[in-house]
Amino acid sequence: MTLAAKQWDGAIVRTWLESRIAAARADQVAAERAGYGQHDECDKAAAEEMICTLLKTGEAASLQSAFTDALKRLLDRDEFTWRGVYDDTRFERHARTAIRKILKMTKANAGFENTKRYQ
């Protein structure tokens, strides 16, 4: 028995992006309060916030193909610039990791229903 493929729902994707932005900001605050040892966690959260913010600003979330293209364009960028970054090299690595994670979710059209802070 085969399962029917889920339809792409841009509203769910936009809601997921908004929840990830809020979670990333909360993670940044927690990392900042923890001090020097958590700078990498702060960069990781900043990278996720940046990617989700860039994806949310356009209308790419409406169509799966457009969303995939937007992710691929982000992955092709040479460098990423964002506020509050401690280590640019690690930040770029975290940004590319976040893009790949979302790209995998997009191809499978799965995981966007999970809007909890910790995933």
Residue 116 has pLDDT above 90, yes or no: no
Query: How far is the C-alpha of 37 from the C-alpha of 102, rounded, in Å?
Result: 27
The four Cα atoms 71, 67, 104, 119 give a dihedral, to 10 degrees, of 100
- Mean per-residue pLDDT for 104-118? 88
| Residue 59 φ/ψ, nearest 5 degrees | -95, 20
Residue 3 has pLDDT above 60, yes or no: no
pLDDT value of position 84: 84
Residue 1 has pLDDT above 80, yes or no: no
- Mean per-residue pLDDT for 44-64? 92
The pair of three-digit structure tokens given for residue 91, joined into one six-digit string: 């930040």
pLDDT per residue over 82-94, tens digit each?
988 999 999 999 9
The pair of three-digit structure tokens given for residue 87, joined into one six-digit string: 């280590």
Query: How far is the C-alpha of 46 from the C-alpha of 23, rounded, in Å?
Result: 10
Residue 106 has pLDDT above 50, yes or no: yes
- Considering only 2-11, 15-24, 44-53, 82-91, which range has the smallest mean pLDDT? 2-11
Supply the mean pLDDT for the chain.
90
Considering the entire predicted model, what is its pTM?
Answer: 0.88
Answer positive or negative: Cα dihedral of 53, 65, 95, 35: positive
